[in-house]
Every structure is written in C-alpha cells, then in structure tokens.
Amino acid sequence: MFSITKKRFKNKFTPVQILAIGFAILIFTGAFLLSLPIASKNGVRTNFLDCIFTSTSAVCVTGLVTLDTGTYWSYFGKTVILVLIEIGGLGFMSFATLIFLLFGKKITLKERLVMQEAMNYFSLSGLVKMARYILVFTFLVEGIGALLLSTQFIPEFGLIKGIYYSIFHSVSAFCNAGFDLMGNFSSITRYSNNAVIMLTISSIIVVSGLGFYVWLDIYNYKKSKRLSLHSKLVLLMTAVLIVIGAILMFLFEMKNPNTIMGKSIKEKILSSLFAAITPRTAGFNSISTTDMTNASKFLTIILMFIGGSPGSTAGGIKTATAGVLFVTVISVIRGREDTELFQRRISKNTVYKAFAIIVISLGVVVTVTMILSITESTAPFEDLLYEATSAFGTVGLSLGLTQKLSFIGKIIISITMYVGRVGPLTLALAFGKKRNASIRYPEDKILVG
C-alpha cells in the first residue's frame, strides 16, 4: 500500500517540479539544523529568518550572509553550511545517485529524467556514468585545492584548523559559494598579496565554472580529436570575459587609492584578475567592493548577471546563453537567416530558449530591485541593483547592504537566491501552464526596430 502511494506521489510531479521542490526541502532542513543552539558559537537559538537566509545562501551557493560565518557559527554550524554548499552546488540528485549506487538501488526512468534536468545534460544515455564522473571530478579538484591551500593555512592556523579551513574554502570555491571563515565579512582581502591562495581559489572557480560536460569533452579530446560546439562557445566566452574583465578592472582601479593604487604591480594584477573571475559567480573578494569605482561596480554587475557555464556549479544566465545572444545579433547584422558559429548552425529552439532566459532574468533583477527600493528606501540605487543581481546570479558579493536588510528584504533576497539557483526558466516550466503544442496559429507581421 505504501509503495503504491509513494509511486503515485512521484508520478504526480514533473522532473522540473521535483527539482524545485527538492531544493526547497533541502533549504528548510538546513535552516532547522542551523536554528539549533549547538549551531551558534554562543549556544543560543538563532533567529529562524536568519537561518533560512543562511541556508538558502548555502544551498543556492550564493554567499550572501546576514551573520558573519567565521565568528557567529560554531564548528557544527559551519559544517552544516559546508555540507549544504556541497549538496547545493552539485545538486541533490547527484548525491542521491551516489547513495543509490552505494546501496545497489536501481535508478528509475523518472529519476533519470530529474537527473537530466538537474545536470542540464543533452540526453538520458550515460547519465549514471556522468553522475559518477561529476562526483569523482569534484572530490579530486576539491582535494587538490585543499592541499594547495593547506600550505598557507596550516602554518597560520595550526594543523587541525588549517586543514578544516583549507577544505571549507576549497569546497566553497569549487561550488562557487563564496562563503569564508576569515571573520568580520572580510572575505580574503587579507590575502590579496598571497599568490598561492589567490591563484588557487581563482583556478578552482574557473575549473568548476566551465561545467562538467566541457571537462568531459576536453578529457575525450585525445580520442575524438574534436570539441563540441557547446564546449568551444563556453571556452571562448570564458576566456573573453576573464581577459577583458581583468584588463578593465585594472584600468578602472589603477588610480583608486582605496583599492589597488598603492599596491605592487604583482598585487594589482592578482587583484584585477581575481575581481574579473570571482563575480562569475563565486563571491570572494580581495579588495573592498564598497570602495571600487562606479565603473568597476557596473562591470561587476554585468559579470554577475552572465555568471558561469551550463552544467556547472555557477549561477547567472550562463556564458553559453550570453554567447548565443551575441552570435544571434551578429548573424542578424550580417543578414543571415540562421545563428551561425564555427561553421555550425544553432537551432532556433536554442536561440528562443536563450532569449527567454535573458528576458525572464532581466525581469527578475528589475522586479527585485524595484521591491528593494521600497523596502530598503534609504539605500542607494546602485547598492540595490548590485544586491539583486548578486542574489539572482548566486554570487554573494555585496556593497554592505545584506547585513542591513529589513525583514521583508531578507525574504525577497532569499527568494531571489532560490530562483537564481533553480533557474527562472525551470521554475516557469515547473509551475506554468502548458499549451497544446500541436496548435499552430496563422502567421502575421509586426514592425520592429
């Protein structure tokens, strides 16, 4: 009887609905654990709204916090946050697959469909193998990152604390979470001249931000001698955003006495490179975000909105989506009927999906900014737009507004982080009404431009 009821419950929801509900359940479970007295350093219960906010930020791998992670939470609380970051970054379906494999449970078609949606994979074939690869790749990169960071943290904090800090920051970087344990909301600004820490965290962010599919494609390159169009576009967009972003950050901040003006050339280059990488969408910062020039803040907003790549732990509209939009515009200017790249044609369905994601995402950011302008009426507009984009892109950077948010503001930002992690289009498909696809209306003309 129980198995029949469970089967009916599972069949009641679509894969995208299961994905959206699964993240919500994980958030509330994390909030409950963080609300326990053992989770705080002073041994008292934490305000449940702050627990919800922190849990949402961890599960949605954002990094925005109302309570300082390094000084407020006990090691139990920090470990809960660490686990939420790992599960949220990789997706609960990847961990569910690991558990199924350990216990020898057969993975059903329904579960495979949810996995396909969660991992943003092209087909159902090879999903379980892909899940294994994701888990092995994740733990390998995080392990290497923790090992490199431990060479700096162990001498500073001692063996046990140094290892814990190394693991925490490696996982936080790989999952593009941006949580840190340095205290006083300082992120890693004290290490802006430490090349090992800066380059290790930057490398982990870039590696995870490319997406698991791209790395699998690179791994198989020796046999196939070719990269897919998706991988080429992702690699191209990532390289362009990092290089141009770093150059612009350097130019915008080189004469700013509050950021990098008085630093050595090595530190200037490291900070500029880091400032171009971390908004997509890790949320660490090595220089004060509030002291940046307006040009740098606006550039950061653009980078946060674009985010990482599909199938990765990063948020934002994704590099491939922005790339498809850009290539489509170029194709229209050239008078081409199809969107073309690297002598390949991109399907109109992909183009439509990319435009839908961008329009919905812009709508979310604009709406959230407008609501915050009412609930946080004393805050400057740039702070509101920055906060809304950071929450939607699951970045975690802030101009100091997060800790000042009102009750309603915290709820709005929590919802925005959830929407950004699950994906606006996924939520729209999960809870929107579907029309009969077989119906086609007569074509007509509209003047545009």
pLDDT tens-digit readout, 116-173: 555 555 555 556 666 777 778 888 999 999 999 999 999 999 999 999 999 999 999 9
Q: Are 316 and 394 in contact (CB under 8 A)?
A: yes
Give 34-72 pLDDT, tens digit per residue.
999 999 999 899 999 999 999 999 988 888 898 999 899
**Phi-psi sector, 369: left (phi>0), alpha (psi -120 to 50), beta:** alpha
CA dist., res. 203 & res. 420, Å (int): 23
Distance of alpha carbon 215 from alpha carbon 442, whole angstroms: 44
Query: What percentage of the chain reaches a pLDDT higher than 90?
Result: 41
Whether 9 shows a pLDDT value over 50: the answer reads no
Q: Write down the domain spans for the chain.
A: 2-430
For residues 409 and 50, is the Cβ–Cβ distance under 8 A?
no
Q: Which two tokens stand for residue 387?
A: 């906060």
Band of residue 2 on the pLDDT scale cut at 50, 70, 90: very low
- The structure's pTM equals 0.85
pLDDT for 368: 95
Tokens 């390998």 locate to 140
